[in-house]
Amino acid sequence: MTIAVGDRIPEATVAVFDEGIQTHTSTDLFGDGKVVLFAVPGAFTPTCSNRHLPGYIQHIDDFAQRGVKVFCLSVNDAFVMDAWGKERGIPESLTMVADGNAAFTRALGLELDGTKNGMGIRAKRFAMYLEDGVVKVLNVEAPGEFKVSSAESMLDAIDG
């Protein structure tokens, strides 16, 4: 079952690289305050690297002005997410989150089967806005599209 607006974020273990791999529960990371969590199918992939992540980097101050913390999630390991963030020059206020075994992504019901392309199970491209762990906005992209999960779309949804 896919998470929906009004649902509480499920609990699963995710990782962040901070002087080594640090594990956290999803509820600890995303369950308090205003949060935008956006997910990409893969670090270093073309749309993710050239369009999705850059929009959030560009607008990170706009989210901060609204009191919103921003997290980028991918079904990659914490080392990859850290390297991708460094390569892309992310600000400290944008947290790169690894869901290496897709446990959180599956708990959300937002997994993508990329096995035919040699990518295994990944996250669908999506963005959600949470308040104290409750989904207020959920924008899931249609396959191959990049429209509703952009930073601009999420800012509009928060302001709307």
Containing domain of residue 137, as a range? Answer: 13-159
Catalytic residue among 9, 14, 29, 48: 48
Q: Could you report how far apart the first and last alpha carbons of the chain are, in Å?
A: 27
In a domain, 87, yes or no: yes
User: How many other C-beta atoms are found inside a 10 Å radius of the C-beta of residue 86?
Assistant: 11
Report, as an integer, the average pLDDT of 98-113.
Answer: 96
Q: CA angle, 111 as apex, 85 and 74 as ends, to 5°?
A: 5
In a domain, 7, yes or no: no
Q: What is the CATH number of the domain that holds 70?
A: 3.40.30.10
Q: What does the pLDDT read at residue 119? A: 80
In a domain, 5, yes or no: no
Per-residue pLDDT tens over the stretch 13-58: 999 999 999 999 999 999 999 999 999 998 998 888 888 999 999 9
In a domain, 8, yes or no: no
pTM value?
0.95
Question: Which residues make Cβ contacts (< 8 Å) with residue 65, sequence separation at least 6?
Answer: none
Q: What is the mean pLDDT of the chain?
A: 95
Look up 48 and say whether it is catalytic.
yes
Number of structural domains the chain divides into: 1
Map residue 14 onto helix, strand or coil. Answer: strand
In a domain, 54, yes or no: yes
